[in-house]
Structure 1
């Protein structure tokens, strides 16, 4: 098997912004810890929908691992910036670091995490290798 001509760059990034909503707050008046996972999820969905891995695609992505370290309470109002940093691309998996900041405080981390996704056949659930097109699109979206 030959190596794909366009591999996404390790260290490449994809950023997206999301508004913190009043309903995201908990009883202590800061963003509930479950919402951080929703921010990370939305960032993944935005990235992979641009790659073309979304229904009605034959390929789906399955979360094999997700983690989050909560570093600082996120308060309302705010715009959360989620940065996904490519760590590793496997035959059918991808590993990303995730960083959460506020748009008005660049460089100040509120949370950091990691996830591993596995590309899978939406009918059988069996892993599917990344296609050249998917890798090229990831490379384009994550160009440093």
Structure 2
């Protein structure tokens, strides 16, 4: 897998940032954040990001995770906090992509791209689309 484009490693490219505390249980036998824990950290950040969106909530615009791609660039450690930057990537007619970057002590460690496929009755809701269009990941100028 090729290394992500340099702009994907810049937290300024992402409109939403969240700080998540790492846990001792996230560590592998070598003392690094393990792969399963990375997926859980990104899931927590993604759910928090979606809660900031006014048109996404219980019973509206439900979606299923169709694909998760995680790229490891460095090692994360406990007990340092993780900053996870997120935003919307590709936006289709019935799916959207959430792009995220995890940083620890300002160093980019992992990227995560998740494709969500809409399953709710409001999947073509223009208000939903307008809301997520406000949160794009953009290459900094």
TM-score by length of 1: 0.73
Alignment of 1:23-102 (within 5 A): 23-51=25-53, 52-55=55-58, 57-102=59-104
Q: Which residue of 2 aligns with 1:112?
A: 111
Residue 45 of structure 2 aligns to a residue whose secondary structure is helix
Aligned residues: 125
The worse-fitting range, judged by mean Cα deviation, of 64-73 and 83-92 is 83-92
Please, what is the CA RMSD of the aligned residues? Answer: 2.4
5+ unaligned residues in a row in structure 1: which ranges?
1-10
Structure 2 partner of 1:136: 130
Which consecutive residues of structure 2, in runs of 5 or more, have no partner in the other structure?
1-12
TM-score (norm 2): 0.75
Which SS does the other structure have where 2:62 is aligned?
Answer: strand
Q: CA deviation at 1:46?
A: 1.1
Q: Give the C-alpha shift of residue 65 in structure 1.
A: 0.7
Larger Rg: 1 or 2?
1
Give yes or no for contact 2:87–2:137 (8 Å, CA) kept in 1: no
